[in-house]
Amino acid sequence: MIPCNTFPTRRMRRMRAEPYIRALTQEHHITSENLVYPLFILDQPKGQDAISAMPGLARLGFDEVYRTAEKCLELGIPAIALFPVLPAHLKSENGDSALDPDGVLPRILQGLKSRFPSLGLCVDIALDPYTSHGHDGCLDEKGRVDNDKTLARLCQQALLYSQAGADIVAPSDMMDGRIQAIRHTLDENQEIHTLILSYAAKYASCFYGPFRNALGSEGCLRGDKKTYQMNPANLREALLEVALDAAEGADMLMVKPGMPYLDVISHVAAQSPIPTFAYQVSGEYAMIVAASANGWLDLRAAVLESLLGFKRAGCQGIFTYFALEAAQWLRESR
């Protein structure tokens, strides 16, 4: 410890007095290369549909997705994450549409990869966009999520999307053993270059509400997801989940949500040599936008400060709905 009698020899404000020295001594920086932009995909050739719970964002038809992908590349955003929006009649108890080779995600993956081969394409591996009950897996006869039956479907889903052009498959389901099972399936089918980004510490959070509104699944969830998503009170459990997923073959690790779990991110980043990501989720986005709309926060300052917080906590990558705006602001500040 530094002794407390160093004043006036040690004046900390000397290092803050001028812009040049603040710039020279800044410990962490956010860049557009740190960002991943999540997109909600409609199965239609063009057009968009505003998301009421996420002002400023929309569900996008294919043409809009292509335009957005091009914009990401122009701004230096290296990857996008794709989330399908399905009508109710395509949802079923076992999420069969997730395995449709002519479904919305395989087709948009093929289109994006042919047009933008250098753009990283990340897809969620989970069944909740496709199930009529809103859970991330198949249910057993007692209405519980059946871990091992779900694993088989997740492996099929990951292989389908990898073969369609996904660079990164991101299991967000929180089933036990899914990283090992998916890695084995990919490898035995010669998809050895496909990366696995594991949602290793995904909490049963209230901050996902606007996301479910975006997918149109907010009213169909039976019960809750607490039997597979993590208890928000637990940290050591997250470290065990991270260690298990790393041992099973994950290439990258995700903590979700982001801002309420910066302590978890910090511990994960400090203890794991595998790159750590965070997801600034829909509820975080909605709060910042709402506070800005009411004049309580400066949107630009709040967004950039929040993203810097993720970097300070140890993130290499950040999934954020602010990616386009943040990348533009960062470009303007150069």
The string of pLDDT tens digits covering residues 237-273 is 999 999 999 999 999 999 999 999 999 999 999 999 9
How many domains does one find in the chain?
A: 1
Domain of residue 113, residue span: 31-332
225 is a catalytic site residue: no
Is 202 annotated in the active site? yes
Catalytic option among 113, 142, 149, 202: 202
- Residues 317 and 34 sit within 8 Å (Cβ to Cβ): yes
Q: What pLDDT is attached to residue 218?
A: 66
Would 315 be classed as within a structural domain?
Answer: yes
The rounded percent of the chain whose pLDDT value lies above 70 is 98
Give pTM, 2 decimals.
Answer: 0.95
- Asked if the structure places residue 261 within a domain, the reply is yes
At 4 the pLDDT is: 67
Amino acid identity of residue 298, one-letter, is D
Structure tokens at 161: 């999307």
13 within some domain: no
For residue 5, being part of any structural domain is answered with no
pLDDT at 7: 82
Residues of the chain with pLDDT under 50: none
- At 314, which CATH number? 3.20.20.70
User: Does residue 276 belong to any structural domain of this protein?
Assistant: yes
Task: Please give the single-letter amino acid code of residue 111.
Answer: G
Q: Which of 46, 225, 226, 256 is catalytic?
A: 256
Q: Does any domain span residue 7?
A: no
97-100 own/partner pairs: CB under 8 Å, 24+ apart: 97/130, 98/127, 98/129, 98/130, 98/153, 98/157, 99/153, 99/156, 99/157, 99/160
Domain membership of residue 184 (yes or no) is yes
Q: Give the pLDDT score at 5.
A: 75
